Amino acid sequence: MQLLHLMILLPFLFVVFIPFLYKRFNSQLHTGWFVLFIPLILLLYLVTFIPKVSNGNTIFASMPWIPSYHIDFTIHMDGLSLLFGLLVAGIGTLVVLYSIYYLSKHRETLHNFYVYLLLFMGAMMGLVFSDNIFVLYVFWEMTSISSFLLIAYWYERDKSRYGAQKSMLITIFGGLAMLAGLIMLSMIADTCSIREMVSSIHVTSFYSHDLFIPAMILILLGAFTKSAQFPFSIWLPDAMEAPTPISAYLHSATMVKAGIYLVARLTPIFGGSDEWFWLVTGVGLVTLLYGSINAVRQTDLKALLAYSTISQLGLIMSLLGLGSAALYYGLGDEATVYAIAVFAAIFHLVNHSTFKGCLFMVVGIIDHETGTRDIRRLGGLMHFMPISFTLTIVGGFAMAGLPPFNGFLSKEMFFAAVINVVKMDFVHNNFIGTLIPVLAWIASAFTFVYCMILIFKTFKGKNKVSKVEKPIHEAPMGMLIPPLILGLLVILIFMFPNVLSAYLLQPAWSGVLPELAEKGKLQIEISAWHGLNTELWMTIGVIVVGTILYLTLRKWYRVYLIYPEAATLNRLYDNALKIMELFSRRITDRYMTGYIRDYLVYIFVFIVVMVGGSLWLFDGFVYTPSMDAPVNIYEVSLVIAMVISALTVLLSKSRMTAVISVGALGFFVSFFFVLFRAPDLALTQLVVETVTTVLFLLCFYHLPQFKKEMSHLRFKVSNAFISIVVGIVVTIVSLSANGTRLFPSISSYYEDAYVLAGAKNVVNAILVDFRGIDTMLEILVLTIAGLGVYILIKLRLSGRGRDKNEEAK
């Protein structure tokens, strides 16, 4: 195992120690101080790769996992994966530091929180550095599971459970669709390595393959659900019920960026097609508009940030779609013009992580210090929380795209990218070419409005101290340090953007468009001033119109009431879930009748239909008497005795007789084992039959009375019919199996059991040595079941003790 693999596995390994550290030290020291070193170590380790990667080098490290299926744990570190890894580790470090002051060590189950957080961190690291698509998928689903646990951290709240369930259902649905797409993609490329797929894209006929479009759509479903793209964006606002550190980490910098990463990583494979361009660009723009419009109507600060995150994710996604046009033009000069959109996407992704992480933490501070996030109950906080007010201005103005903050630079590049759509050859409709920049501008105007709401309605205006639950004061410095660092980065990136570009953005850009990078066509100089161009006039228009909309908000706000609540995506989701639950309940009630006989009927009918139908359809019945062994008088006698015992069970009117007949039937079977020289099986059968017969007799008194319907002729005839048909099918299968030899017998493999395993008993050798793993897993299953029974008994006993104590009180 190499250090790169250890880097990914480190969070998972440290998870084991968190419960012990919490139990031993939590009363003296916050558990987060121990956890803080994990993302910090990862960050410092990744920083050492920046010089090498910025010079155009890539790092590989491979470890075999499932070689028979060509699945290896291969790490591929290029500019794109390194940038995401730095975001995961860097924001993770700040979030852990923030959570130390945000979460009380006395009132919170911190060991659960940090276990879930590190699981998510490790999953994200594995996701962005995996080269094998199926290893990537494993980490992808781990992010869904760990995020479910984090969102449901306050599980006693109904809204937390609801939000966690919604995020789980939507992202897992997308993940399963993505898995099908990845399987198709591996079939097209004949490899599981993303790097090999990218290198062979022009050698293999990817675009003409029948599975190309289905694979693209299924993979995009996974990316869109994870990155909260329309119409799957409904899970993100409900996920805000998680603690603020989780919102700042998952929903601004990491998890929601996983879909962005996947689209960026697979752009070299799918980006040359029209379908990819229109799907990614179209969904991104719709998401941008949907999120910005809905953010304005929110009265909860975290809900406002949730919809703003949806909006910003749509912006980044649309830029990736627009930038994929560079692959359509090959290596021409026009390709470089459109490739700048990909650079803008990466640039805005970094900017968004800084200002949105800062804003989430500030909102957490407001909630922590005032006890509310309701904008209607807040106002005039700038006098009590001046540092938080300053940080909100920095983050809010950056999100609005105003100078001198980093969001202005990437927003200008976004405007430049949407303007260039008109020049694209495959945009045949001038109306669509004009509509895209218009929609982008409208969404930006609403972005400006909700940024002003966030800043001024919270911190300016009338003092509403009487409406909050506790005295207002600034947060402790430990809670302010993380947003201060992010706010400082917002300004520094604006002042020195080309430093970030040279070391991180350009290498990441090359990772998305490797062909253009090889030709030296990916060079860009970031500048805050390009003259009075169209992009600047669009920004000025956004400021003017956005200011007017903000100042007249009360006059036009009621327009949101026009849209019926019953037609919202959330209501449609809830109704669909209720219909599915009702439908599944009706189906379940049909077969879960509570009668064992009904369950056996379902099983036997299924066996008859599937097995018997297969034998009939595929002409599977084969009977060759020449292969039968001779039958002696002892075997015939035993068979007759077994038949008599079975008929006695069916025809007896006494339970005692029926139980004894069942036991006798088992004993006769054990005699067959003796005849066939299987003493171990015979002994086991004798013990089992003896124990079960005794248990039957001991429980005889508690057995329910015979039901009257059991004596009806219809009941007996149906049982007899099913029994006879099942018996016939099993007999046919046995005869066919005896008369068919598709492969040589494996019995010869066990002839050397003594030499290979040192066992004189071949049955024991098979169970303990040849099939030792199967036996071990069976023992493990029994152990887990035993532990489950033990825990249930302990819980019941502790519950009784608690009830008695409460009664005594």
pLDDT tens digit sequence for 205-250: 677 788 899 999 999 999 999 999 999 999 999 988 888 899 889 8
Tell me what pLDDT residue 466 has.
62
Confidence of residue 445 (pLDDT cuts 50, 70, 90): very high
Short-list 95, 401, 138, CA closest to 253? 95
Contact 726, 604 (CB under 8 A): yes
| Confidence check: pLDDT of 710 > 60 | no
* Phi, psi of 193, deg, nearest 5: -90, 125
Confidence of residue 467 (pLDDT cuts 50, 70, 90): low
pLDDT tens digits, one per residue of 119-171: 999 999 999 999 999 999 999 999 999 999 999 998 888 899 999 999 999 99
Confidence of residue 429 (pLDDT cuts 50, 70, 90): low
**3-state secondary structure labels for all residues of 600-663:** HHHHHHHHHHHHHHHHHHCCCCCCCHHHCCCCCHHHHHHHHHHHHHHHHHHHCCCHHHHHHHHH
Query: Rounded distance, CA 399 to CA 695, Å?
Result: 73
| Confidence check: pLDDT of 368 > 80 | yes
Tell me what pLDDT residue 453 has.
93
The average pLDDT across 304-332 equals: 87
Q: What is the mean pLDDT of the chain?
A: 86
Lowest-confidence pick of 114-118, 437-441, 469-473, 766-770: 469-473
DSSP 193: B
The average pLDDT across 388-399 equals: 94
Residues 573-582: contacts with CB under 8 Å, at least 24 apart: 573/166, 573/234, 577/169
Alpha-carbon dihedral of residues 129, 131, 133, 136, nearest 10 degrees?
-20
Lowest-confidence pick of 261-265, 570-574, 713-717, 790-794: 713-717
Helix axes 569-591, 596-607, angle to 10 degrees: 90
CB burial of residue 213 (10 Å; 0-12, 13-18, 19+) = middle
Collapse the DSSP code of 61 into the 3-class scheme (helix H, G, I; strand E, B; otherwise coil) and give the result: strand
- Work out the number of other CB atoms within 10 angstroms of the CB of residue 754: 12
The average pLDDT across 651-680 equals: 83
Query: Rounded distance, CA 657 to CA 692, Å?
Result: 15
Tell me what pLDDT residue 333 has.
65
DSSP 66: E
The average pLDDT across 550-573 equals: 86
Short-list 283, 285, 287, 269, CA closest to 324? 269
Tell me what pLDDT residue 703 has.
67
Task: Return the structure tokens found at 271.
Answer: 């980006």
Short-list 241, 238, 258, CA closest to 129? 258
Alpha-carbon dihedral of residues 632, 636, 642, 643, nearest 10 degrees?
160
Contact 39, 96 (CB under 8 A): yes
Confidence of residue 737 (pLDDT cuts 50, 70, 90): confident
The average pLDDT across 761-767 equals: 77
Query: Rounded distance, CA 270 to CA 277, Å?
Result: 9
Residues 1-5: contacts with CB under 8 Å, at least 24 apart: 1/63, 2/61, 2/63, 2/75, 3/45, 4/59, 4/61, 4/75, 4/77, 4/129, 5/61, 5/63, 5/73, 5/75
pLDDT tens digits, one per residue of 66-105: 887 778 898 999 999 999 999 999 999 999 999 999 988 8
- 625 Cβ contact partners less than 8 Å away, ≥ 6 residues apart: none
Return the ∠ at Cα 566 (arms to 551 and 292), rounded to 5°: 35
Q: What is the pTM of this model?
A: 0.81
Strand partners, 132: 193
In percent, the amount of the chain with pLDDT more than 90 equals 42
Confidence of residue 521 (pLDDT cuts 50, 70, 90): low
DSSP-derived secondary structure for 396-446: HHHHHT-TTSHHHHHHHHHHHHHHGGGG-TT---HHHHHHHHHHHHHHHHH
Residue the block writes with tokens 């509403």: 464
CB burial of residue 618 (10 Å; 0-12, 13-18, 19+) = exposed
Q: If residue 566 lies in a helix (H) or strand (E), which one and from where to where?
A: none
pLDDT tens digits, one per residue of 580-636: 999 999 988 888 888 888 888 899 999 999 998 888 888 777 777 776 777 788 888
Tell me what pLDDT residue 805 has.
52
Q: Where are the beta strands (DSSP E) in 162-293?
A: none
Q: If residue 505 lies in a helix (H) or strand (E), which one and from where to where?
A: none
Confidence of residue 677 (pLDDT cuts 50, 70, 90): confident
Q: If residue 75 lies in a helix (H) or strand (E), which one and from where to where?
A: strand 71-77
Residue the block writes with tokens 């260039």: 420
Collapse the DSSP code of 551 into the 3-class scheme (helix H, G, I; strand E, B; otherwise coil) and give the result: helix
Collapse the DSSP code of 73 into the 3-class scheme (helix H, G, I; strand E, B; otherwise coil) and give the result: strand
* Phi, psi of 64, deg, nearest 5: -60, 140
Collapse the DSSP code of 130 into the 3-class scheme (helix H, G, I; strand E, B; otherwise coil) and give the result: strand
Tell me what pLDDT residue 709 has.
47
